[in-house]
Amino acid sequence: MSIPNVFAALVDDAAIFPPGSLPLPEAVIAHAAHRNSRVQALVGPFVLGAGALAAAAQLATPELFPEPLPVSVVVPTPDAVAETIEAADGLRVAVRALEVKLDRSQPLTPQVTAIANHDRRGITTYVEVPRPSHPEWPEVLAAVAANGLRLKFRTGGTQADAFPDDTELATWIGDAARSSTPFKCTAGLHNALRHTDATTGFEHHGFLNVLCAASAALDNAGNNSLATILAERDAAVLTETLGDTARTTPRTLFISYGSCSIDEPYEDLAALGLLDR
């Protein structure tokens, strides 16, 4: 079975981050295996912190990776953007994206402007933004959109309050669509469908829900409709909403999401009958 175009490079490999927390050497080896397996078309870049660049580059030998290791680098602050890019120079990595955190103790909008003013050498740059209830959200969104940056939404974590509810995520997605600003998600989206985790009791969004909501948002669906899609737990409803998985149009809004598991998304797609035979 193969990966339909609509899911191509959907899952960024965040194996070293919680809850997976795989040691870096094991994660790099596993990433190489993913890139030579049945899941290869599903896999995006390897996600790592800026401080792990040199170590990852040493581990990514030519035997494992004939080409430089493709990475998406989590940058701890806007001030660290330039040094992170410089740190990658000469290493056996290919920086596909930057994922920049904001200092929540300081005004946020000027930090977005600072990110945009760095020489990022054309590297795709995501800004991890606050929830829509944050007073600066409209200004942050406007600054991200105006400067050709992208949005990063945190959709889960190790605590219940790390998960935005349907209304919050719908607002994020709707605002992203209306501002023509692509986004990625991080955390909590291991599975295709919305569900309640049996162990933690946390409400997890499904990556298929987010994909369908993003498509609806591009068709000018309102936030209430998006929230309904995000809350849907019926696979049949979502697969019908998704439509033709063979379409070749690239995803222009929901670009990818970071996951510490690659096999789980693949297995969910297979179980739902969404893989090509």
pLDDT tens by residue, 90-144: 999 999 999 999 999 999 999 999 999 999 999 999 999 999 999 999 999 999 9
- From 162, 108, 145, select the one nearest 253 (Cα to Cα): 145
Closest CA to 90 of 139, 53, 119: 53
Dist CA 170 CA 6 (whole Å): 21
Mean pLDDT of all residues in 136-157: 97
User: Does this model's pTM top 0.85?
Assistant: yes
- When pLDDT is averaged across residues 18-45 and rounded to a whole number, the result is 96
Q: What is the pLDDT of residues 246-275, one digit of tens each?
A: 665 678 999 999 999 999 999 999 999 999
Q: What percentage of the chain has pLDDT greater than the value 70?
A: 98
Q: Output the pLDDT for position 249.
A: 61
| pLDDT for the residue 242 | 87
Q: Which pLDDT does position 248 carry in this prediction?
A: 54
Which residues 6+ apart lie within 8 Å of 65 measured at CB?
Answer: 32, 35, 92
Average pLDDT, the chain: 95
163-192 pLDDT, tens digit each: 999 999 999 999 999 999 999 999 999 899
Sorted by sequence, the CB contacts under 8 Å of residue 233 that are 6+ apart come out as 193, 194, 195
